[in-house]
Each structure stands twice: as C-alpha cells, then as structure tokens.
Amino acid sequence: MQWKSLVLGLLLLRLGLHGALWLAFGLGPSMGFYQRFPISFGLQNLKGIEGRAASSAPPYWLGASGVGGPQPSRRTPAERSSRPGKGPEPPAPGMCPKSYWASLLGGWAPGGGGDEYERRYSGAFPPQLRAQMRDLARGMFAFGYDNYMAHAFPEDELNPIHCRGRGPDRGNPSNVNINDVLGNYSLTLVDALDTLAIMGNSSEFQKAVKLVINTVSFDKDSTVQVFEATIRVLGSLLSAHRIITDSEQPFGDMTIKDYDNELLHMARDLALRLLPAFENTKTGIPYPRVNLKSGVPPDSNNETCTAGAGSLLVEFGILSRLLGDSTFEWVARRAVKALWNLRSNYTGLLGNVVNIQTGTWVGRQSGLGAGLDSFYEYLLKSYILFGEDDDLEMFNAAYRSIQTFLRRGRRACNEGEGDPPLYVNVNMFSGQMMNTWIDSLQAFFPGLQILIGDVENAICLHAFYYAIWKRFGALPERYNWQLQVPETPFYPLRPELVESTYLLYQATKNPFYLHVGMDILQSLEKHTKVKCGYATLHHVIEKSKEDRMESFFLSETCKYLYLLFDEENPVHQSGNGYMFTTEGHIISVDKHLRNSPWKKSLSEEEVGEHQEEKHMSRPKPLELKVNTSGLNCNRIPDERRYSLPLKSIYMRQIDQMVGLI
C-alpha cells in the first residue's frame, strides 16, 4: 500500500506541476482589450509570465455594455492608474523571454541573439524561391482560367468542383448573392483581361479581347448591381483598352490588329445602361440595381450601401475623360457629394446604408469593411487619377475621423502603454462601439495607408489580419475578436490581405512580406484547389468547400500574388505610374486623365467644396501628401520607401502574436 500511495503522490505532484506550467505559459483567460481574443497580440501569454491576475470582465474603458468612447489610449497616466476596481493599467506587452519561443515554435531553442521567428522570416528570400513562387502564382491563375474557358465559358463563373459554368439565377430573382454579380456577360473572362497582360501572355490576351468583342453583349434581361457591374466589367474594359492603346506597350505586344476602340465603345454602352440608376432619386444617390434592358425595376429597393453608391467615380471618371463626355463623371461625383454631405456633424463619419430618396441613414454603423470600404478608397484614388483637390480634402477629413473614432488601442503602433491598435465598428453619430467583430474586407486598409505614406500604421494593422490568416489558413468573412470565433466562417478567395501584403512589400522591400505571400499562396493551394479550379471555403476551420470560384480570384488574388514575386514586372519597372482599381484593374496615371470635362456640367454650388460645420470641434487637419505622379511603387518618394529591420517595427508587433506563429 505504501508504494501505491507513493505513486499516487508522485502522480498528483506531476499534475500539479503541469497545472502550474499551464498557467505560467499563459493559457488561461486573457485580460484587457483583447480579453477573449486568441490572437491577442501576446496578452494571454505575457499575462502569465508577468504574474498578473486573470479577469473575464470587459475592459474597463468599454464599460459594462462593451461600448466606449474613442481613443481610450489617450487617457493620462493619472487616469490609467485610477481604474476603479481594476488595478493598475497593464504594462505594454511585446517581448517574450527566449526560452518561451521554444515551446511555441516546435521545440526550437533560439540562441546567438536571434529567435526562430526572425530566423525564418527576416532573412533574404532567395531569388530561386521567389521565381518558384512567381511561377506557382502564374500556374494558379492558369489553372483557374483554363478550366473556366474549358468548362464554363461563355457563362459568368466556374463551378470548380463539378466543372461547369454558372450564370444568373433565373429561377430565383431574389438571389442577389448571385444575380447582383452575374449578368450573363462572360464575367470571369472580362474580369481577367488585364491579368493576362500583366503576366505577359500576349497571345491569350489578344485571343480573349477578340472573344469579348465578338461574343459579349450587354443587351440582356439581367438585373445587376450597379457597383459590381462597374468595378468588375466596366473597369476591366477600360483597363484592357488602355493596355491595347498604350504606345509604349510595356507588357509586350498587346495590340489588336484593326482595333477600333471596341472595348471603349462597349464600356460606354454598359455605362449608358447603368445611368437610369441615377434618375428619379431625390438625393442624387443611385438605385442599387438596374435591369440592363429596361432600367430600374419597378419594385427597386430605395436603400443602398455607401460603398455601392459612392465607389463609381474612378471608372465613370475615366470613361468621361476618355470620351470627353462629362455625363458619367458628373453623376458619380454628384452621388459622392450627396453622401459626403450626409456625414455626422459630430464625428464626420458616414453610415453604411442610406435611403436614396430621403437621405436618412438606415444603417448607422461606421467602419472600414463591407458597406464603406471602397468609398474611402476611391476618395483617395480619384484624387490620384484626376488631381481634383476636393477629393483629397474629403479623404483627409475622412481619415482624421477614422483615426479619431474608429481606432482603438495605444497611440503608437509599437510604443507606449495599452493594447495594439485596432479599427472597430462604431455608431456614426456618437462614435460608440457597436459590436466586436471585423470583416475580411477591412484587410484592404493597410494598402490604402501605404498609398498615403502612413507606413507604420499599415504595418501594424496588416499584422492583425495576417495573424488571423495564420490561425485558419484563410480569413473568415467575419471574425469576432472578443469571442475568438468566426461569426461568418466562409472565405470566398478574397484578395484584400494579398493586396496589402503586396503594397507593403513594395513600400518597405522587407522580405517578411514575401514569406507572408508564400504562406497565403501555399494555403490556397492546400485548402482551396479542387478538380477544375479553386473553390470558396464554406468553413475556414473545417475547410469544407462551396462550388464557386468568383471572378475576383483571377482578377485580383492571383494578380497580386504574381506581382509580389515578380520583381522585374513592367508594373514595377516602367517609367509610368500605375494604380489599381478596387477590383484590381490596372490604370496608368498620366496627364490625359487630368482634363476635367465634368466641371462644365456642374453648377458652382455643386462644384464648390462642402462647407465645414463651423460650430464643430474637429481635430487639427492632418494633411496627407500623395504621390500624384503615379503609384508605381518604385516612384514613391524616397522618404516613404525604405527597408526596415524586421525587429524594429514588425517584430515588435509579431512578438505579441507569437502564440499563433
């Protein structure tokens, strides 16, 4: 019996030691802003090491309901030290002892002053590996494109699991998830045109352009979303037209024999069919949908999202300036101004859904994701293309409001006390946080921050989304950072994180982003490749699939991955500057787009800048300087293009996410 008691005692002692180690290495509940967020930038792990007590209560600055005011990190040290009933403010997290890395990196014990993460990610990315990843990205595009042409063309999309085409859902007109996008106009082929050119495939580009000219018609009884038709189809036609007519032909010989501006004429035809959406609205904000044959449906919805109504200016503006016809840019600018004039007098923010007849905000959520994302993007990109000061002034004001009311966490990305920054969804009128989820579309924002030179914030925010990708091998459509679960778990092959990764690499030349791109590329190959293409992930945890390959996979995701690894691509080497539309279509930035025919059609009142609310107390203007000579990233001014030691900026952020990597 004595030996049994001894064994039992040793067993209990071992269990006790395991429990102590479990607590010591931070596997207990978290505390602070990311209190239940598994990729909590290290707060869970560092809490145990520093011996802090666990807390399951909401962060003190959120209040009992989880809703709080803007910029909690701006509290003074005295205020931070007087958290009622909560104890002192946690110290800034970030650095783990080296012995801790071994338990998180598969047992590898760092030495010699370095750590495993830095060893794996900060070293040079060999040219052979880069070429291999470039070819893998090109092969990914070719596999999807060739299967679309073999099994789906002339229908709009490919069903890659069953190897057949997909068009509008005629049997269920209310299926807007399909019908908003698919208009029975060979969408995937049209959307992929400039990707063929960027990859240097002149023969297939020329063949595809001729197919579009000879087989695609917009005289169809299809009710489509104005926004989707504009960014996917109109934008691609304009991009391909510019590539064909470029006298320098930087991508190789992409000219078409006897080309007579057919793509430009098709773009005009489509835009004319979209114009009825702008008629009979009391605000000038367009209807969300039109029938390409008959105009606005009689039962059309009077509610539209801000991004859908306010992200038409780039494509409509290019069309107007190429044609010398102000109509298209005029209606798009009128819609932008109408939305802008409806912003909150207090926060300067816009909501996500508006009634086009009354101007009443139906959806009062303000954030960076679905419903608002490309509105901000196109304020800046319209200025880059057209040089209109009003566009930049609106963007500057919007960015100030975003930084003031949406940004939570410490003031600096990598310095000071408090949690790392995060942009949340708030009430447009009060700035109070409305929920605790982010959506995958928000991952575009670091790329936009790169375009204005806000590199450090871009690095910091990108790290947040990449950490989620590392956890799931994809970005769930919506993720609750407090409940640590995907709220909407599907991933439709979206490009936003890839886009930001590409732009961050071009801005910093840090090889870390090549490793990120390789991670993304390999995840897509592993989890989404099927018999005839790449399939939507129905559930990012289970990796179950849906039989759909959206057109933006070829027009954006594959394109940005390819460009990330193709250092010698003409996009990076050409003397011209380039900009990408929100659908990833490439547009050269040049003086020919700086003429302003639309101004002749606007009254002085409509052209004039919207008066700032004089009674409001707004932050001091943050003037953002943009490289208007072009957005080929090699042309970003020297003071904004730099290579950073990985440890100096990104490592301090990644150190706080070490539990995932």
**Residues 408, 414, 418, 424, Cα dihedral to 10°:** 20
477 is catalytic: yes
Mean pLDDT of 642-658: 36
Region 81-92: mean pLDDT is: 34
* pLDDT tens sequence across 402-428: 999 999 988 887 777 888 889 999 999
Name the pLDDT band for 601 (thresholds 50, 70, 90).
low
Q: How does DSSP classify residue 585?
A: -
**Marked catalytic residue, from 116, 204, 228, 388:** 228
pLDDT of residue 261: 97
* Crossing angle of helices 262-274 and 313-323, rounded to 10°: 130
Determine the Cα–Cα distance for residues 578 and 590; give it in Å rounded to an integer. Answer: 9
Average pLDDT over residues 510-522: 96
Residue 639 pLDDT more than 50? no
Average pLDDT, the chain: 79
Residue 264 pLDDT more than 90? yes
Side chain identity at residue 158, one-letter code: L
The residue ranking higher by pLDDT, 73 or 537, is 537
Residue 474: pLDDT above 80? yes
Of 175, 60, 26, 165, nearest in space to 532 by CA: 165
Q: What percent of the chain has pLDDT over 90?
A: 66
Q: How many CB atoms are closer than 10 A to CB 649?
A: 20
Which H/E stretch holds residue 524? helix 512-527
Please report which confidence band the pLDDT of residue 117 belongs to, taking 50, 70 and 90 as the band edges.
low
**DSSP string spanning 371-383?**
TTHHHHHHHHHHH
- What's the rounded mean pLDDT across residues 574-594? 89
In this prediction, residue 215 carries a pLDDT of 98
- Between these two residues, 639 and 578, which has the higher pLDDT value? 578
Alpha carbon distance, N-terminus to C-terminus of the chain: 47
DSSP output for 319-342 = HHHHHT-THHHHHHHHHHHHHHHT
Determine which one of 156, 194, 477, 566 is catalytic.
477
Q: Give the CA dihedral 408, 411, 416, 420, nearest 10 degrees.
A: 40
**DSSP assignment string, 383-442:** HHHH--HHHHHHHHHHHHHIIIIIEES-SSSSSSSSPPPEE--EETTT--B--SEEEGGG
Q: In the prediction, which pLDDT does 80 show? A: 31
**Residue 586 has which token pair?**
């490439």
Distance of CA 35 to the CA centre of its chain: 25
What number is the average pLDDT over the span 632-647?
33
Of the candidates 655, 656, 660, the residue with the CA atom closest to the CA atom of residue 114: 655
The shares of helix, strand and coil residues in the chain, as percent rounded to the nearest 5, are: 50, 10, 45
pLDDT given for residue 484 in this prediction: 85
473: its two tokens: 């091998």
Catalytic residue among 373, 377, 499, 556: 373
Provide the whole-model pTM.
0.78
Give the pLDDT band of residue 127 (cuts 50, 70, 90): very high
**Which of 489-503, 506-520, 613-627 is the least confident region?**
613-627
Q: What is the spatial distance between Cα 536 and Cα 527, in angstroms, rounded to a whole number?
A: 10
Tell me, what's the pLDDT at 559?
98
Q: Determine which one of 496, 550, 566, 583 is catalytic.
A: 496
Q: Which amino acid is at 191?
A: D
- How far is 592 from 580, CA to CA, in rounded Å? 17
pLDDT tens digits for range 564-575: 999 999 999 866
Reduced to 3 states (helix: H, G, I; strand: E, B; else coil), residue 486 is: strand
Q: Out of 41-50, 249-258, 336-345, which region has the weakest mean confidence (pLDDT)?
A: 41-50
Most confident range, picked from 15-19, 46-50, 270-274: 270-274
Preceding peptide of 154 cis, ω within 30° = yes
Listed range (96-105, 264-273, 597-606, 626-635) with the worst mean pLDDT: 96-105
Separation between Cα atoms, residue 465 and residue 440, nearest integer Å: 8
491 pLDDT band, cuts 50/70/90, is very high
**Predicted pLDDT of residue 298:** 92
State how far the Cα of 337 lies from the Cα of 382, in Å rounded to an integer: 13
Confidence of residue 595 (pLDDT cuts 50, 70, 90): confident
CA 582 to chain centre: 9
Contact 293, 210 (CB under 8 A): no
Residues 137-162 have pLDDT tens digits of 999 999 999 999 999 999 999 999 99
Look at residue 341 and tell me whether its pLDDT is greater than 50. yes
- The tokens for 211 are 């197919």
Q: How far is CA 368 from the centre of its chain?
A: 9
pLDDT bin (cut points 50, 70, 90) of residue 47 is: very low
Q: Is 228 a catalytic residue?
A: yes
For 137-196, the three-class secondary structure string (H helix, E strand, C coil) is HHHHHHHHHHHHHHHCCCCCEEECCCCEEECCCCCCCCCHHHHCCCCCCCHHHHHCHHHH
Residue 655: per-residue pLDDT: 38
8 A C-beta contact, residue 43 and residue 89: no
In this prediction, residues 420-443 reach a mean pLDDT of: 95
Which residues pair with residue 164 across a beta bridge? Answer: 159
Evaluate if residue 186 carries a pLDDT over 70: yes
- pLDDT for residue 118: 56
pLDDT at 201 over 80: yes
Residue 61 has pLDDT above 50, yes or no: no
Contact 462, 455 (CB under 8 A): no
**Predicted pLDDT at 420:** 81
pLDDT value of position 183: 97
At residue 68, the pLDDT reads 29
**Bridge partner residues of 295 (DSSP):** 291
pLDDT score, position 574: 62
Distances (CA, A) of 615 to 342, 345, 399, 515, 611: 16, 9, 20, 50, 11
| Res 233 pLDDT > 80 | yes
Query: How is residue 655 written in tokens?
Result: 């150190």
Residue 122 confidence class, pLDDT cut points 50, 70, 90: low
30 touches 40 (CB < 8 A): yes
State the pLDDT at residue 5.
56
R_g (Cα) of the chain, nearest Å: 26
Lowest mean pLDDT among 46-50, 163-167, 421-425, 443-447: 46-50
Average pLDDT for residues 515-542, to the nearest whole number?
97
What average pLDDT does range 87-105 have in this prediction? 30
